[in-house]
Structure 1
Amino acid sequence: MTEARLHNVLATAPRPRRPSALSASLTFGWRGMLKVKHVPEQLMDVTLTPVLFVLMFTYLFGGAIAGSTAEYLDYILPGILVMSVLFTTVYSGVSLNTDLTKGVVDRFRSLPIWRPAPLVGALLGDSLRYLVAGTVIVVLGVALGYRPGAGVGGVVLALALVIVFAFALSWVFTTLGLLLRSPNAVMNAGFTGIFPLTFLSNVFVDPETLPGPLKAFVDANPISILASASRGLMEGNVESADIAVVLGTAALLTALFAPLTTHLYRTRT
């Protein structure tokens, strides 16, 4: 009798409204923020690590490379901004793989929501981590004496460009997160790929000092172009071609890997 009454109540109750794609994505983005709240150690990679990079490269190598730490800081700070944010994108794949191996993804698939919402929401939440990493770099640079020629506006535009590119690159690592078997495997594969691309760029040194073939590779490296665009925006002399290449590469990465990630997310068990 009790079961029959319960069935009648549920049958006549109004069906809850299905959440919109935006609402569901923002909810999963907030989930990512709550994870950081409960495990604040996750912010170490976007706070402590960038600080160490700036201090180490500026004061250990600045005099040898540029003749003075002040001149090298002007050159390297936008590059470190790019490097620190892009390194953080690897953790998008690690986090997704962790959810997959723990069975959380199976629960998400059963919910009546827009299917890609957990993916999009997670990357939106990660974008806030990119913002934190970039802000830490800029504040530290200003404290050490860096003065952007384009002022606050140029810094904001440079940071926005880096975050857009990082959001697109995150789709690559979410694909890895769904293909590999463990979070450690995703981390190792991610850093194995991004480390050479970052160090074989103009983040640390002017490519004019490099041998011909290596210089050609560095000049064509999208990370070099992103670093050049960030320097240009922060100094007020950016070339529109650099911005076009960065945005085009970001669009291409998203177009290729977002559908692939979504497909794997639906089918991977």
Structure 2
Amino acid sequence: MNTKRLASALVLASTLAASALSTGCVALYPEIGTNIRKITAEQALDPPPPEDLRWIRLVSATIKDSMRDGRTWKQALGKLPDPYAKLYINDQEVLRTNPKNETLEPSWDDAPRGNFQVSSADKMRVEIWDANTVTDKPIGVKDFRATEDLVLGDRIRIDVPGAGEVVIAYERAHAMFGLGLWFELRTDTCFLTRMIGGSPAERAGAQPGDEVVQIGGKDVKTMSSNAVRSAFNSIPSDGLPVVLRHADGTTASVTLREGPIYPAFAEFGRVD
């Protein structure tokens, strides 16, 4: 690089640095998640699933062979419908299946599913639609609440006017296993960025924004990035002791232990 180009590069770097400082920009660090995996039959659910969290999946439907006007689907459209379903909780769409081609008995085995906060007091609605290349057409809609008389075992079977019977899986929340926290590694320290609500990390007293001062008796500033990652992803059976500095400056010594996690769909996505 010649002298003029070097001088220009230095001026540009200085200008960008000054701009970042003047606008309050700070360095961004990648967020790292700890291991979250499927729970096994041998692992105890302690604590048990919350009462207000339910695992929900749109399972199947049996569509009536005639439309509202009395004509059969083939008489009206020349073929059977391509049905799909939507589920709402308190007027917010939470689940939607893919359409199934030309059938009166769709089974949505590939449908999204997960844990949702819901109780018998919440308004729910299921909608059945016929997928169309131009405009999707509604088949039937039903508002309901998941009351004791409607939930039979772990299923809701509901008659949707104009559509037929719809089956919805409605089970106690499904668990995953791990710590349920995310962190970021900065120059010589580590900060917790977020955690799943009710996770083992949260139950232990960890909070988003905490600085991790020590891990297993070692000062984090003396540990390599790989050593910190390894510590969080290989938790001993008796737990990992850490020292945390909260946002208010106080410190807390806690032991992080892996355990059941019941992540809500909104913060984690699909749980099988």
Same fold (TM over 0.5): no
TM-score normalized by structure 1? Answer: 0.21
- Bigger relative contact order, structure 1 or 2, given CA contacts below 8 A and separation 6+? 1
Q: Return the structure number with greater helix share.
A: 1
Structure with a larger share of its residues in strand: 2
